[in-house]
Structure 1
Amino acid sequence: MNSVRYGIVSLLLFCTSLAWAGSHTLGGDFTLRTTQNKEVSLSSFKGKAVLLYFGFTYCPDMCPTELLQFKQLLAMLPADKRSLVQPIFISVDPKRDTADVLEPYVGFFDKSILALTGSEQELHKVAGQYGAHFRYVPTGSSYTVDHTVNIFLIDTQGKLVRIIPYGTPTQDVLKLVTALLP
C-alpha cells in the first residue's frame, strides 16, 4: 500500500514538474553541505556525469531502491568510466538525517555516492530548481516525507539533460549515462 501511495504521489509530482518545466528552465548550480559540513557546489563536478536524487533515510522503499540502482550502475560501468560519474543523494529530511545517520546509510550502498543536505529552505530552493518537490506528512507521533522520486541526469558541463522516472531499468539508465561520457 505504501508503494502504491508513493507511486501515485510521485506521478502527480512528476506531472507537476513537467507542467512547471514547460515555462521554466530546470537545473542549475547549487551549493549544499556534505556530512562533514563541507560546502559542495554542483559546478565542482564539471567533467563528470551526475545522477541527482532527492530522498531521505527513513524512506521505506523508493530511496533504497534508487540507491541500490546507483550501486548497480556504478558496478556495470567500465573501471575507466566509473570515476566520471558522480551519484548524489540529497536528503530532504535534515531534521532526522544528521551526519551520523546519513553517512553510514548512503555508504552502505556505495562509498562513492555523495550525501548532501541543507536547511529546509535551501533544500526547497534546490528541489524547485529541478522541478522536484517534497513535503512533510504527519504520521501519528512522527512524520514521513512525500517526495519526487525521479533521477536527474546532469551532463559533464553541469546541464540537466534528462529526468529519469522511477522504475527505469538500470540497463536503460546505464545507456543514458554512458552516452554522456567521453
Structure 2
Amino acid sequence: MTTSPLRRNTLKLSLLTLILMGFVLSGCSGEGESWNGKDISGLMPGLEFELTDGQGRPVTADQFDGKIKLLYFGFTSCPDVCPTTLQKLGQATESLPTEAQDDVLTLFISVDPERDSPERLAAYVDFFGNGIVGLTGKESQLRQLAKRYRTTFGYEEPDENGNYAVSHSSAVYVFDREGKARLLIRPDLGVEEIRQDLIALAKADT
C-alpha cells in the first residue's frame, strides 16, 4: 500500500514538531519568567522575511518593529485548524487591556500562494477582526521562511475540481518588539493562557 503525499507531509510535520519540542525543552533552564507557552528565547532566529501583504505591497519584518508579533502559517481554504487558531488569537488579543491591544499583531502567512491572492487574503483576515495582517509570497520564499523556523508544508494532489489540501504546522511563534523569538504557542493552549503570556511579554518589553 502506498502512502499519499499529504500523509507523508503530515508525518513529516509531526516528526519535526517532536524534534522541535525536544529541542525547546532541552534548552529551557527553568529559570526566570514562567510561561504557558514554550520559552524559545535564544533557540530560534529573529523575525526576518520579505513578503507581500493583502494590498499587494512588499513587506519586510522590520516594518513591524515595536510590536509583539504572533506568526502563524496557514491558508484561507483551511477547513478547521486555521480559522480556529485565528479566532483564538483574535480573542486573546481583544481581551488584552486597551492600552496593550495595539501592541500585539498577528501575522498570518499563507503557504498557498496559488489560490490566496492578496485580495482574497485581505478579505479572509479581516473576518477575524483587527490586528491581523495577511502575508504571502512566492513558494520559494515561503519554503525558506518555513525552514528558518524548523517547519514545512506540503500540497495534496488536486481532485477533479482542482481542489487540494495543504499540510502545515499548527504552532504559533511569538516574537518580541525587537523581533526576537520568545514563545511557541501550542494548539492546546486556551485563550486565557495565551492572553496571560501576551500581557507578561508586553510588560517585560516595556
TM-score by length of 1: 0.87
Q: Write the distance in 2 (CA, Å) between the matches of 1:123 and 1:146.
A: 14
Matched with 2:36 is: none
Match status 1:145 vs 2:145: no
Matched with 1:75 is: 94
Matched with 2:57 is: 38
What are the equivalent positions in structure 2 for 1:110-121 lying under 5 Å apart?
110-121=129-140
Tell me which structure has the larger Cα radius of gyration: 2
Consecutive unaligned residues of structure 2, counting only runs of 5 or more, are: 1-6, 27-41
Structure 1 residues 71-113: Cα deviation after superposition (integer angstroms, max 9, x where no partner): 1012101111011101110000000011221111110001320
Aligned letter for 2:45?
G
What are the equivalent positions in structure 2 for 1:1-182 lying under 5 Å apart?
11-18=14-21, 25-28=43-46, 29-141=48-160, 142-181=163-202, 182=206
4+ aligned runs moved over 4 Å, structure 1: 5-10, 18-22
Residues 160 and 38 of structure 1, relative CA distance in 2, 3 Å threshold: same
Of 89-98 and 133-142, deviating more is: 133-142
SS of 2:83's equivalent?
helix
Task: Determine what percentage of the aligned residue pairs are the same residue.
Answer: 34
Q: Write the distance in 2 (CA, Å) between the matches of 1:13 and 1:56.
A: 20
Aligned letter for 2:105?
Q
Instruction: For residue 165 of structure 1, report the CA deviation from its aligned partner.
Output: 1.2
Consecutive unaligned residues of structure 1, counting only runs of 5 or more, are: none
Contact persistence 2:102–2:131 (CA under 8 A):
no
Contact persistence 2:72–2:170 (CA under 8 A):
yes
RMSD: 2.5
